[in-house]
Amino acid sequence: MTSNIDIDPRVTTSRVALVTGGSGGIGRAVVERLAKDGMAVGVHYSGNQARADETVAAVVAAGGRAFAVGGDVADEDAMSAAFDAVEAEFGGIDVVVNTAGIMILSPISTLNLDDLDRMHRTNIRGTFVVSQQGARRVRDGGAIINFSTSVTRTQFPGYGAYVASKAAVESITLILARELRGKNITVNAVAPGPTATALFLDGKDEATIANLAKAVPLERLGQPDDIAETVAFLAGPGRWVNGQTVFANGGLA
């Protein structure tokens, strides 16, 4: 992925973000977009530290502040330590963006239940653990942003288990927004449509990808930067958007 952060040296901020799954795909685009806005960013990774270090290096080379922090999002001790590390490095946390997730596609009738458990551990428990830490730690005026999927509306065959996990993410998100009444912290979910990432492209032939692109009124796949722009709005100026699932999908019905 080519970096194009272009941080304006005149932009300064004391705001700090932690981005889970921040080492590649949408997560990396989010890291770079928030860094462009002047935020210091904790770049979380689960298994690929080298890729996280590359993301950090790109931000730092552009004049931003970032460092890598590892851990399993579904492990409450690991995530508590990750939040501790970001707070120690940058003095606090204002924005939590939880892009970490896995997708395993299969008809419901043939899905391996071990895959179901693995996906739900990351997508549901992981979102819950990260949201719980965010609820305890995000500072006044901050934002928690989780990730769902537009397939909760499109109902594509083969996505049953994945969509079930993301529907849970939406419910966690919308309830947490109401539980944080009076804290001045917004909580929203972003639901991308078909986006050109390794997670989306893996296992799909060119015809399938072309058909999905054509299904969007804008007649193209989304790019990670498209999703990052939505996140940047919710993390920054979008203070009146709260307790919502924002469908960033180019108009996919």
- Torsion angle, CA of 239/240/243/248, rounded to 10 degrees? -80
The mean pLDDT of the chain is 93
Q: Which CATH number fits domain 16-248: 3.30.420.10, 3.20.20.70, 3.40.50.720, 3.40.80.10?
A: 3.40.50.720
Residue 10 has pLDDT above 60, yes or no: no
Which pLDDT does position 128 carry in this prediction? 98
Residues 6+ apart with CB under 8 A from 186: 142, 143, 144, 177, 234, 238, 239, 241, 242, 243
Average pLDDT (90-102) is 97
**Residue 218 reports pLDDT greater than 70:** yes
234-251: pLDDT as tens digits: 999 999 999 999 999 998
Cβ pair 122, 67 in contact under 8 A: no
pLDDT at 1: 45
* CA–CA separation, 188 and 245 (whole Å): 6
Q: Which two tokens stand for residue 36?
A: 């462009």
- Report the pLDDT averaged over residues 195-208: 79
pLDDT at 121 over 90: yes
What's the confidence (pLDDT) of residue 114?
98
E strands in the chain:
16-20, 40-45, 66-70, 95-98, 143-147, 186-192, 245-248
- CA gap 86, 60 in Å, rounded: 16
Residue 4 has pLDDT above 70, yes or no: no
pLDDT band at 94 (very low <50, low <70, confident <90, very high): very high
SS3 for 188?
strand
Whole-number pLDDT of residue 9: 53
| pLDDT of the residue at 243 | 98
**Measured distance CA(75)–CA(181) in Å, rounded:** 27
Residue 6 confidence class, pLDDT cut points 50, 70, 90: low
- d(Cα 87, Cα 160) in Å, to the nearest integer? 37
Whether the CB-CB separation of 155 and 149 falls below 8 Å is answered with: no
Cα(148)–Cα(51) distance, rounded to whole angstroms?
24
| pLDDT tens-digit readout, 31-62 | 999 999 999 999 999 989 999 999 999 999 99
Domain residue limits, the chain:
16-248
Residues with catalytic roles = 162
